[in-house]
């Protein structure tokens, strides 16, 4: 009641003030008319217009002005306020009021509005929000009017009182905004969130993701995978009926100059709700130190989940928050960008912390593939991130999200470089006892073949450019350098063999495995034809060196060099009898021939016994190698046996010297390197 009485007094004072201004304005105009000189410069026109004669000086005679009318006595201001009129009869003015309405009348109606609005503003806006907003508008119109009439002695008092009421109204609107927003802001249910995801072949549910049924390690598997190019259905964050009310409250806060408090309320309420949505997925803030103790098997599953959650965060949660923010702060770009940046900052930090921890943690070469998976996932969403966090206000959020992609690329590049160094540093003492393909060879080649699936990402990382022949020079050179590092390490390992035959067999097997694996996979396009042909020639060179060192002694025993004979003492066939050797001193020595057969048999068995556990995994290479050995050894043995076999056969116990016939020899060769054949 005190406030209403005070406002009534202000109305009375303001009305009296306006009446005095009215009297002064009317009397001043009459006095100015009396004092105003009147000159005529065109006599003819003046006379014709006025119809009067001119004086000898050329000036028209001055006319007397009528005296002001006698105004009826003023009634009291409060009485005129009750009648809604403060003007005297017959006098109107438009100064400061609407067209056809006097200034005092407009002032009175304005003050009446403030009196009506005061009782509404002092109540809570939740009772009738529309009436409350209308009352605020009335008070603002009063404020506007008296700001334009600062010469009145009551203006300052009225403005002070109205500003107090507007401040109370602003607080009431803040409380109503907080109440309404808090009531509408609830975390999105997980099933509703997952049902908003588009899938290729099945609907992704919480059981699919948390149960680990989505296998991200298989790039070709489409079951349960999210179609990143399909349209996403944004979840409904709050009741759509509340959005217009919240928007009106924000609009009114801007008009009252209290929008900063509204921004803080919106940021706190929506920010905490968004954080709950992120944490409900199972995402927590992770540091690089915590990531170091995570097991490799567990890490793979967590990375697969994180990639799905990051996509959910960007495509659904952040996108829905941006849409809601645009609706509530419609037309206020600076406010909505600033508000959206603040409310998403913490949730985005939590979501990115896992990726940052993976990028900063140390790991094995296998880590490259999870880094590339994460790099691809973030790269696919880069355009969405730039669109969501556009503008100067969101620059820090945008830099953080895009910075993760850059950090993953740098870590992947560093891991790839470390992988080449690890190959070169692999211990040369770790060799194979049977000359088989080394585990390092198979590991590196399988690693390179897997890299082919990530060539698009690797091109982005290595910033490759396409040459005239259509190849990506930087990426190709990186892949070739890996294989070259492997060849260098294999060469160092081969030097650890005391048996040079086994060293050549080892290099032959490993280089053949490299060629065979490359030529039978898509990674072949990284390697030029001349590069492959050079390696094939190297394989043949090592095979030739193996045959020469392994079977040279056995071949030498089948040579006729060192066995003396003359034309007169050659083997003769006389009348169907068995051939005999001449008895003179120049005839062939039977003991030398026996020694040759015995030495060949011993050498052949020694080589077979030594190499029985050696392997040539490539079946085609093994068959070609045995055939090459047989083509040299079998014809020489058959010829030697034909020529000198009869000589030993005529002696006692010939099987002691001639143990194999050519077919048995060929069969024994066929059993070489059959222990570990490569499964086709």
**Which range among 85-89, 286-290, 323-327 shows the weakest confidence by mean pLDDT?**
85-89
Do 59 and 47 meet the contact criterion of CB atoms below 8 Å apart? Answer: no
Residue 37 resides in a domain: no
12-16, 96-100, 430-434, 542-546: the lowest-pLDDT one: 96-100
673 — pLDDT class (breaks 50, 70, 90)? confident
**Can you tell me the mean pLDDT for 62-84?**
42
Give yes or no: residues 158 and 201 share one domain. Answer: no
Please check whether residues 349 and 467 belong to one and the same domain. no
Token pair for 119: 């009782």
Q: What is the pLDDT of residue 250?
A: 85
> Contact 460/376 with Cβ under 8 angstroms?
no
Dmax over CA atoms of the chain, in Å, equals: 188
Last residue of some domain: 492, 523, 549? 549
List the one residue out of 662, 609, 619 whose CA is nearest residue 639. Answer: 662
Residues 6+ apart with CB under 8 A from 396: 341, 345
Q: Are residues 223 and 330 in the same domain?
A: yes
Per-residue pLDDT, 575 = 33
- 151 within a domain of the structure (yes/no): yes
Q: Given this model, what pLDDT does residue 569 score? A: 42
Pair (350, 448) in one structural domain: no
Residues 442 and 303 reside in one and the same domain = no
Domain that holds residue 150: 2-23+75-179
How many angstroms separate the CA atoms of 361 and 73, rounded? 93
Q: How many CB atoms lie within 10 A of CB 637?
A: 23
Mean per-residue pLDDT over the chain, rounded: 75
pLDDT at 298: 82
CATH (domain of 376): 1.20.1280.170
The domain boundary residue, chosen from 549, 577, 595: 549
- Residue 612 lies inside a defined structural domain of this protein: no
Section 499-512 average pLDDT: 95
**Which pLDDT belongs to residue 330?**
83
Question: Residue 579's pLDDT is what?
Answer: 41
How far, in Å, are 13, 58, 553, 564, 659 from residue 638 at the CA level?
Answer: 140, 159, 17, 20, 13
Regarding predicted confidence, which is higher, 362 or 573? 362
SS3 659: coil
CA 74 to chain centre: 80
**pLDDT tens, position by position, 434-450:** 999 999 999 999 999 99
Q: 194 and 174: one domain?
A: no
609 compared with 34, residue with greater pLDDT? 609
Residue 85: pLDDT band by 50, 70, 90 thresholds? very low
pLDDT digits (tens, 9 = 90+) for 635-647: 999 999 888 888 8
Percent of the chain's residues with pLDDT above 90: 34
**44 in a structural domain:** no
Out of 163-177, 241-255, 311-325, 473-487, the most confident range is: 311-325
Angle between helix 395-425 and helix 439-452 axes, rounded to 10 deg: 150
Counting residues of the chain whose pLDDT is more than 70, the rounded percentage is 65
Tally the domains of the chain. 3
| 153 and 243 part of one domain | no
Span 96-115, pLDDT tens digits? 444 444 455 555 555 565 55
Give me the mean pLDDT over the 118-132 stretch.
66
């Amino acid at each position: 009641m005190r406030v209403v009485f005070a406002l009534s007094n202000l109305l009375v004072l303001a009305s009296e003030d306006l009446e005095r201004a009215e009297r002064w304005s009317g009397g001043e105009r009459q006095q100015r008319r009396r004092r105003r000189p009147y000159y005529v410069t065109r006599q003819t026109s003046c006379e014709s217009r006025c119809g009067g004669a001119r004086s000898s000086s050329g000036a028209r005679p001055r006319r007397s002005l009528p005296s002001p009318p006698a105004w009826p006595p003023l009634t009291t201001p409060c009485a005129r306020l009750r009648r809604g009129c403060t003007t005297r009869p017959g006098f109107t003015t438009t100064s400061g009021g609407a067209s056809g309405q006097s200034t005092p009348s407009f002032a009175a109606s304005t003050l009446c509005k403030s009196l009506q609005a005061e009782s509404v503003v002092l109540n809570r806006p939740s009772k009738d929000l529309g009436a409350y907003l209308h009352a605020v508008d009335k008070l603002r119109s009063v404020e506007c009017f008296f700001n334009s009439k600062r010469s009145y002695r009551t203006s300052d008092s009225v403005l002070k009182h109205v500003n107090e009421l507007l401040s109370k109204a602003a607080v009431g609107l803040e409380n109503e905004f907080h109440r309404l927003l808090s009531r509408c802001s609830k975390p999105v249910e997980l099933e509703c969130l997952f049902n908003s995801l588009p899938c290729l072949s099945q609907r992704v549910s919480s059981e699919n993701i948390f149960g680990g049924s989505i296998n991200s390690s298989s790039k070709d598997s489409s079951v349960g995978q999210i179609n990143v190019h399909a349209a996403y259905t944004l979840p409904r964050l709050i009741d759509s009926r509340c959005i217009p009310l919240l928007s009106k409250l924000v609009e009114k806060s801007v008009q009252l100059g209290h929008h900063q408090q509204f921004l803080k309320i919106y940021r706190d309420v929506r920010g905490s709700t968004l954080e709950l949505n992120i944490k409900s997925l199972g995402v927590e803030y992770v540091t690089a130190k915590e990531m170091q103790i995570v097991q490799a098997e567990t890490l793979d599953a967590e990375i697969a989940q994180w990639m799905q959650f990051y996509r959910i965060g960007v495509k659904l949660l952040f996108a829905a928050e941006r849409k809601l923010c645009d609706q509530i702060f419609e037309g206020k770009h600076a406010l909505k960008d600033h508000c959206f940046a603040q409310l998403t900052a913490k949730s985005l930090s939590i979501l990115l912390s896992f990726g940052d921890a993976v990028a900063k943690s140390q790991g094995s070469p296998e880590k490259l593939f999870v880094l590339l998976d994460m790099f691809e996932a973030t790269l696919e969403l880069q355009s969405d991130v730039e669109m969501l966090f556009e503008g100067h206000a969101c620059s820090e959020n945008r830099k953080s999200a895009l910075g993760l992609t850059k950090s993953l690329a740098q870590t992947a590049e560093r891991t790839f470089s470390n992988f080449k160094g690890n190959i070169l540093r692999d211990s040369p003492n770790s060799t194979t006892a049977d000359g088989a393909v080394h585990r390092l060879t198979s590991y590196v080649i399988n690693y390179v073949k897997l890299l082919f699936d990530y060539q698009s990402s690797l091109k982005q990382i290595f910033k490759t450019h396409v040459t005239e022949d259509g190849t990506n020079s930087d990426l190709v050179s990186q892949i070739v350098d890996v294989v070259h590092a492997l060849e260098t390490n294999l060469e160092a390992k081969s030097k650890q063999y005391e048996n040079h035959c086994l060293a050549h067999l080892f290099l032959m097997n490993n280089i053949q495995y490299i060629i065979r694996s490359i030529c039978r996979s898509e990674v072949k396009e990284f390697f030029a034809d001349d590069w492959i042909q050079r390696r094939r020639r190297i394989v043949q060179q090592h095979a030739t060196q193996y045959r020469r060192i392994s079977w040279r002694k056995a071949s030498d025993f089948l040579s006729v060099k060192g066995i003396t004979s003359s034309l007169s003492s050659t083997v003769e066939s006389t009348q169907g009898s068995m051939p005999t050797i001449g008895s003179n001193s120049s005839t062939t020595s039977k003991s030398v021939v026996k020694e040759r057969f015995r030495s060949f048999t011993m050498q052949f068995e020694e080589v077979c016994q030594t190499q029985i556990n050696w392997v040539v995994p490539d079946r085609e290479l093994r068959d070609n190698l045995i055939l090459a050995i047989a083509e040299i050894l079998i014809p020489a043995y058959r010829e030697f046996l034909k020529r000198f076999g009869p000589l030993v056969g005529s002696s006692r116990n010939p099987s002691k010297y001639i143990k194999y016939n050519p077919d048995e020899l060929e069969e024994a060769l066929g059993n070489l390197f059959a222990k570990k054949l490569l499964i086709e």
